[in-house]
Amino acid sequence: MNYIINPMWFYWVNVVDTLAVILIVLFILAVVACVISGVFTFTTLEYGADDEDHKAAKRIFKRCFITAVVVAIAVILIPTKNTLIEMQIARYATYENAEITIDAIKSAVDYIVDAMKSVK
pLDDT at 70: 96
What's the farthest any 2 CA atoms get from each other in the chain? 100
- Distance between CA atoms of residues 114 and 109, nearest Å: 9
Kindly report whether the global pTM for this prediction surpasses the value 0.95: no
- Taking 70 as the pLDDT cut, the residues of the chain under it are 1, 47-49, 120
